[in-house]
Amino acid sequence: MHGYANPARFLKFARPATGWFLGLGLLLLAAGIAGGLFVTPPDYLQGETVRILYIHVPAAWLGMAGWAGIAFASLAQIVWRHPLSAVAGRAVAPAGAAFAAICLATGSIWGRPTWGTWWEWDGRLTSMLILFFLYLGYIALASAERERGGDGRMAALFGLVGAINLPIIHYSVLWWRTLHQGQSISITSGSTIAPELLWPLPLTLAGFSLLFGAAVLMRMRADLALTKVEARLRRSSGQ
Partner 1 sequence: MNPWQFVIAAYAVCLGGTALLLLWAWQSMRSAEAQADSLKRRP
3-class secondary structure, 43: strand
Percentages of the chain per state (helix, strand, coil), in multiples of 5: 80, 5, 20
Rule CB under 8 A: say whether 1 interacts with partner 1: no
- Binding pattern to partner 1, positions 40-79, x when CB under 8 A? -------xxx-xx--xx--x--------------------
**CA 86/CA 74 separation, integer angstroms:** 7
C-alpha 28, offset from chain centre: 18
> Which CB, 74 or 106, lies closer to partner 1?
106
Rule CB under 8 A: say whether 39 interacts with partner 1: no
Rule CB under 8 A: say whether 33 interacts with partner 1: yes
Stretch that binds partner 1, among 143-151, 168-176, 191-199, 226-234 (CB under 8 A): 226-234
Find out whether 173 and 182 touch, Cβ atoms under 8 Å: yes
User: For 27-65, b where at least 16 C-beta lie within 10 A, e where not — what string?
Assistant: ebbeebbebbeeebeeeeeeeebbbbbbbbbbbbbbbbb
Nearest to 58 by CA among 230, 175, 202: 202
Rule CB under 8 A: say whether 225 interacts with partner 1: yes
φ/ψ of 47, rounded to 5, equals 70, -140
For the segment 75-104, give every residue that binds partner 1 (CB under 8 A): 94-95, 98, 101-102
Rule CB under 8 A: say whether 35 interacts with partner 1: no
Q: How far is the CB of 41 from partner 1 (least distance, A)?
A: 14
> Which CB, 82 or 221, lies closer to partner 1?
221
Q: Which of 67, 110, 132, 138 binds partner 1 (CB under 8 A)?
A: 110
For the segment 133-192, give every residue that binds partner 1 (CB under 8 A): none
Q: Taking the alpha carbons of 148, 149, 151, 156 in that order, is the dihedral positive or negative?
A: positive
Rule CB under 8 A: say whether 109 interacts with partner 1: yes
C-alpha 187, offset from chain centre: 19
Binding residues for partner 1, rule: CB under 8 A, are 22, 33, 37, 47-49, 51-52, 55-56, 59, 94-95, 98, 101-102, 105-106, 109-110, 112-113, 208, 211, 214-215, 218-219, 221-223, 225-226, 228-229, 232-233
